Amino acid sequence: MKSIQRLTILGAGTPTPTKDRFGSSIVVEVNGDLVMFDCGPATTHKLTKAGISTTKVDYLFFSHHHFDHDVDYPCFLLTRWDQGAGKEETLKVFGPNLTEEFTENLIGNEGVFSHDWKARVNHPVSQQVYVNRGGTLPRRPPVVNAKNIKANATYKFDGWDIHTAEAKHVQPYLDSLAYRMETNDFSLVYTGDTEPCDSIEKLSQDADIMICMCWDDQSVMEKEKENTGQCGTLGAAEMAAKAGVKHLVLTHMGPNISKTENTKKSLKEIREIYSGRVTFAEEITEVNLNY
């Protein structure tokens, strides 16, 4: 059995809500750990719809702090804490600058959601629900181990490593990171939001799978002057081809490229540049990893 057992797309969209896609999030099952990348709109509910328990996701990596990648974070934290009944592992969260501050501002003692956990910790009926779920009083506030991290670093976990690289998106306003998860038999890159760049091409060298943002058809992006700070169809295809990745998964798809006729046209153009396997990401869907 492969070390990466499951890759589920939760959010495959952008800040523009559409019927099928909204915001970004993926979750990977690796050596028994559930590792999530980004936490965009409705991620917690999408996890549940995908049959994945919120309390079992013990790692979260943020690519950057645009709302389409992090707005469900407070919901995820509070749900995980509430449903875990004190038996959940401490959540480990990593991301660029602001990850620690964001976490503290949400659920710290003075955080904007502290009224919620203070009420649940102290009110007798909430304590009863907690005990009925298997918790032991006194009920503790949520605890999250959040860490701001930088590009060009490696972090080691149980049977999997994470390598970081700079993604080129909306600096200097927000820092952005791309991630490579590496095990002894599989490598997966999650680009987050970025324009095509050398740092991610290098990070993705010979990867089994690259999950790359794809805002729109390249010619539309060029015409609309939206081709900086983000990838379109051909930019993603060129990066994947240069890096020699085996499977390109296009995500962060805007409403225009999500139209069937445009997706088909794009696939044809991508195939002229990139000869590996191509998947357009669908929400709440597992990506087939059987090669």
User: How wide is the angle at C-alpha 177 spanned by C-alphas 171 and 178, nearest 5°?
Assistant: 130
| Piece in contact with Zn ion (CB under 5 A), picked from 37-45, 64-72, 141-149, 274-282 | 64-72
Residues 173-212 close enough to bind Zn ion by CB under 5 A: 193
Q: Which amino acid is at 282?
A: E
Q: How far is the CB of 193 from Zn ion (least distance, A)?
A: 4
What is the full DSSP assignment across 122-185? Answer: HSHHHHHHHHHTT--SSPPPP-EEEEE--SS-EEE-SS-EEEEEE--SSTTTS--EEEEEE-SS
C-beta of residue 23 within 8 angstroms of C-beta of residue 14? yes
Is 65 near Zn ion (CB under 5 A)? Answer: no
Burial 246-282 (b: 16+ CB within 10 A, else e): ebbbbbbbbbebbeeebbeebeeebeebbebebbbbe
Smaller CB distance to Zn ion: residue 230 or 233?
Answer: 230
Largest CA distance in the chain: 64
Smaller CB distance to Zn ion: residue 78 or 221?
Answer: 221
| Piece in contact with Zn ion (CB under 5 A), picked from 46-54, 66-74, 197-205, 215-223 | 66-74
Q: How far is the CB of 255 from Zn ion (least distance, A)?
A: 16
Is 66 near Zn ion (CB under 5 A)? Answer: yes
Is 216 near Zn ion (CB under 5 A)? Answer: no
| Piece in contact with Zn ion (CB under 5 A), picked from 6-14, 65-73, 203-211, 221-229 | 65-73
Q: How far is the CB of 89 from Zn ion (least distance, A)?
A: 29
Q: How far is the CB of 232 from Zn ion (least distance, A)?
A: 14
Task: Output the CA torsion 235→239→240→242 (10° steps).
Answer: 130
Smaller CB distance to Zn ion: residue 193 or 217?
Answer: 193
Smaller CB distance to Zn ion: residue 52 or 212?
Answer: 212
Angstrom distance (rounded) from CA 251 to CA 199: 19
With tokens 């592992």, the residue in question is 89
Smaller CB distance to Zn ion: residue 66 or 120?
Answer: 66
| Piece in contact with Zn ion (CB under 5 A), picked from 39-47, 58-66, 151-159, 263-271 | 58-66
- 194 DSSP assignment: -
Smaller CB distance to Zn ion: residue 81 or 215?
Answer: 215
Q: Measured between alpha carbons, how far is residue 33 from residues 36, 203, 226 in Å?
A: 10, 22, 37
Determine the 3-state secondary structure of 5 from DSSP.
Answer: strand
Q: How far is the CB of 220 from Zn ion (least distance, A)?
A: 18
Smaller CB distance to Zn ion: residue 66 or 180?
Answer: 66
Binding site for Zn ion (CB under 5 A): 66, 193
